[in-house]
Amino acid sequence: MVCVTRLLPVGALALLASGLATGLVGGLGGAVLSVTVASAQEAAPAAEDAGPVRRGRRHGRERAKPAARKAATPPGMQQATPVAIFGDWNVFVNGDGRNKLCYAIAQPQARSPKTLKRDTAYLFVSVRKSENVQNEVAVMLGFPSKPAASQLKPGSAAAPTDPSLNLGASRYGLVVKDGNAWLQNPAEEARVVSEMSGRNPKLVIKTTSLRGNPTSDEYALGGFAEAMKRTRDECGK
């Protein structure tokens, strides 16, 4: 049994305990971001690329730049209202009054290795007015990941293959559950959001898949500071 070492939002605990869905809850009365693990299973490496999977990031960019950009709505949050787009970052609002949930969200620009079959990934920062939450960092990985050593055995030292969020030279441990991830230490959330809003051009999520393949998802941070300001403004109304 996996021991989750960080305190999850109340809504997330209820969801995970029920076993009814594999998803991520923003803590707002049933606002569930859900993914189906069955459709996120890894495929075996393609025949022409059956050699060892390399660690690292692709240099090519996958972004499509249509004239009218579409907001990136994760599964289960189609009822949320898109508010603005800043670079790769979308701002959404769900609910009203004190029950408002506001968040800035983006999809990765590049994913490696490309021989793994995965669902779409999302990185987002939530603001929940009713709980005075300002900087909850969460990730939908798009596939199940191996947990950190400290999840399997509390008190264990961090391993090089542990899931992590990387900003420049800074590395932050992640706790994972059913294809979702949060910072191991919630006290680091404000620092991470501050670094995301600074001069770092990108953020990289590194994990190890259940089959032992190192994975890397790269998110561009251009526009994040503006998106986060708008997110806070929306939940401040």
216, containing H or E segment:
strand 214-220
- State which amino acid sits at residue 133: V
Q: Specify the CATH number for the domain of residue 29.
A: 2.60.40.1880
Residue 119 falls within a domain, yes or no?
A: yes
Among the listed residues 178, 213, 163, 177, the one whose alpha carbon sits nearest the alpha carbon of residue 44: 213
Q: What is the pLDDT of residue 132?
A: 87
Q: What is the pLDDT of residue 120?
A: 92
pLDDT mean values, one per 10 residues, the chain (237 residues): 33 27 32 32 30 28 38 62 95 89 96 90 92 93 93 89 95 94 95 95 95 94 97 91
Give the strand order in the sheet containing 122-128: 81-86, 89-94, 101-106, 122-128, 133-140, 180-183, 170-177, 164-167, 202-208, 214-220, 110-112
Could you identify the residue written with the tokens 């459709």?
39
pTM for the full predicted model = 0.70
CB 125 within 8 A of CB 136: yes
Q: Which domain holds residue 143?
A: 10-37+71-235
Residue 62 falls within a domain, yes or no?
A: no
Residue 63 falls within a domain, yes or no?
A: no
Q: What is the pLDDT of residue 77?
A: 61
Residue 44 falls within a domain, yes or no?
A: no
Give how many domains the chain has, as a whole number: 1
φ, ψ for residue 142, nearest 5 deg: 90, 5
